[in-house]
């Protein structure tokens, strides 16, 4: 089942494409159309056009195009249905209940993965205060992190072989949900092994504060120094930044983009809270848009 064409049309007609695109792209009028720099490819001169008459967009550079739903789903990385829902909400249009079994299944799995992550953040954080976490505690002491900081960022410690897996099972989570979170892998012998072992753990949250992934730092000289959660149903590296949920733009009205978790955390501890860090090496267009959209401000990259 899907929404009827009538209601989809109503949502489209009440959301002007120029208004929606303008929230992401600086548009200038030229004749009947509007032009701006394409958010879907890198360019110096504007080849991205929006037609208010036809209510469509088209990029002459990369060929991307479509209507207001296509635009929103592409730029936000959401499904067509989610774009319809988001724009309906914006226009105060009440949508009928949707009962597509596949969508429902996906939404339920997502909700479970958030719960797995939330439980895990707490589990790792409590571990940090146990005697087994000695190396982690020494590292924290060396970096002079206060207890308030540890609590605010829910810094944690991941323990042995399948400790987390067992704790999640005990909590009633199912294999499917646990594996989808990327926190546990199954090896060729069918054994479940925690992804993070003996690492200092940093929960990564989305803008709404939900735990979507983790970063783990080694406590000895082994490599790699940091590992991260794989992308999954709730986590996309390019669309999220570390510290997004706690960053505040403050008086300077600027957001600072720093290199890693520890930079964000140490700056927060010094009272500098307008900081975020990208979750993959390149600070890409989407990450820039996320900052602009959330904070409606500029950023400075370090």
Confirm if 59 and 40 have CB atoms less than 8 A apart: yes
Nearer to Zn ion, 61 or 238 (CB): 61
Nearer to Zn ion, 69 or 124 (CB): 69
Helices 5-14 and 80-90: crossing angle in degrees, nearest 10, is 50
Binding range to Zn ion, per CB under 5 A, among 35-43, 88-96, 199-207, 213-221: 35-43
What secondary structure does DSSP assign to 88-125, as a single string? HHHTTPPPPPP--HHHHHHHHHHHHHHHHHHHHHHHHH
Nearer to Zn ion, 3 or 57 (CB): 57
Pick the binder of Zn ion from 18, 22, 24, 61 (CB under 5 A): 61
Per rule CB under 5 A, count of chain residues that contact Zn ion: 6
Neighbour-count burial of 202, counting CB atoms closer than 10 A to its CB (0-12 exposed, 13-18 middle, 19+ buried):
buried
Nearer to Zn ion, 62 or 111 (CB): 62
Pick the binder of Zn ion from 59, 83, 277, 287 (CB under 5 A): 59
Residue 41 sits in the site that holds Zn ion (CB under 5 A)? yes
In Å, how far are 81, 107, 113, 122, 181 from 104, measured between CA atoms?
12, 5, 14, 27, 18
How far apart, in whole angstroms, are the C-alpha atoms of residue 111 and residue 120? 14
Binding range to Zn ion, per CB under 5 A, among 25-33, 41-49, 210-218, 224-232: 41-49
Pick the binder of Zn ion from 2, 29, 54, 62 (CB under 5 A): 62
Kindly list the residues in this chain that would bind Zn ion in the complex (CB under 5 A). Answer: 38, 40-41, 59, 61-62
């Amino acid at each position: 089942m899907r929404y009827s064409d009538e209601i989809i049309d109503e949502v489209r007609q009440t959301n002007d494409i120029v208004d929606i695109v303008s929230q992401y792209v600086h548009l200038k009028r030229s004749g009947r159309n509007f032009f701006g720099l394409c958010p879907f490819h890198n360019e110096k001169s504007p080849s991205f056009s929006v037609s208010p008459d036809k209510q469509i967009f088209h990029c002459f550079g990369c060929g991307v195009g479509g209507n207001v739903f296509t635009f929103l789903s592409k730029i936000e990385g959401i499904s067509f249905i989610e774009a319809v829902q988001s724009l309906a909400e914006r226009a105060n249009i009440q949508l009928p209940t949707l009962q597509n079994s596949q969508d429902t299944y996906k939404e339920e799995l997502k909700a479970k993965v958030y719960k797995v992550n939330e439980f895990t953040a707490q589990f790792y954080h409590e571990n940090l205060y146990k005697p087994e976490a000695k190396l982690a505690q020494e590292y924290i002491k060396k970096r002079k992190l206060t207890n308030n900081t540890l609590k605010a960022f829910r810094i944690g410690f991941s323990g042995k072989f399948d400790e987390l897996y067992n704790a999640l099972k005990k909590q009633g989570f199912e294999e499917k949900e646990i594996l989808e979170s990327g926190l546990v892998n199954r090896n060729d012998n069918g054994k479940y092994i925690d992804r993070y072992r003996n690492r200092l753990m940093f929960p990564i949250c989305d803008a709404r504060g939900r735990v979507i992934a983790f970063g783990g730092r080694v406590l000895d000289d082994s490599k790699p120094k940091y590992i991260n959660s794989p992308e999954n149903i709730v986590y996309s590296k390019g669309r999220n930044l570390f510290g997004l949920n706690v960053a505040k733009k403050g008086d300077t009205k600027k957001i600072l983009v720093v290199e890693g978790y520890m930079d964000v955390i140490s700056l927060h501890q010094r009272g500098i809270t307008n900081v975020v860090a990208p979750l993959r090496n390149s600070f890409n267009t989407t990450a820039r848009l996320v900052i602009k959209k959330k904070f409606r401000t500029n950023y400075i990259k370090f």
